Amino acid sequence: MQPLEARFLPFRGLGRFMATSKLSRLECRVKPLRENNTSLLALYDAFFTSSEIELFDLTADVIEKATDLRASLNFKTPDSLHLATAIVYGATSFVTGDKDLSRCSEISVEIL
């Protein structure tokens, strides 16, 4: 079992336990669209419309927080937006494979 799957297994079937910005959906869909990989695109679409995930908008508050994170920690814009979304919407932790993002002290960053 992959680390991400193992981490979320205890929450399966409990409704919405995962949240991300709509930017994540955009990022995941680009490659399958470019490569005309309809099966992978269908998997992503099913994931992002599942009852276990909530997609958040990139609001003005998220943009402000992302700007602060980008300026103070020199993160890339997409990473700043992902972190800002989690912070603004009150996530309890931010799960990522990017160790560099643990420099953000405003939210618990869990590295898988």
DSSP codes of every residue in 55-80: EE---HHHHHHHHHHHHHH---HHHH
- Whether residue 103 contacts residue 89, with contact meaning beta carbons closer than 8 Å, is answered with no
Considering its fold, how many domains does the chain have in total? Answer: 1
Q: Which domain covers residue 100, as residue numbers?
A: 3-111
Q: What is the pLDDT of residues 42-84, one digit of tens each?
A: 999 998 998 888 999 999 999 999 999 999 999 999 999 999 9
Q: CATH number, domain at 12?
A: 3.40.50.1010
Q: Name the amino acid, one letter, at 112.
A: L
Checking if the pLDDT of 11 tops 70, the result is no
Joined tokens for residue 112: 């898988």
Q: Global pTM? A: 0.84
Chain position carrying tokens 């160790």: 99
In angstroms, the first-to-last Cα distance of the chain is 13
Residue tagged 């309809």 (tokens): 38
Q: What pLDDT does residue 112 have?
A: 83
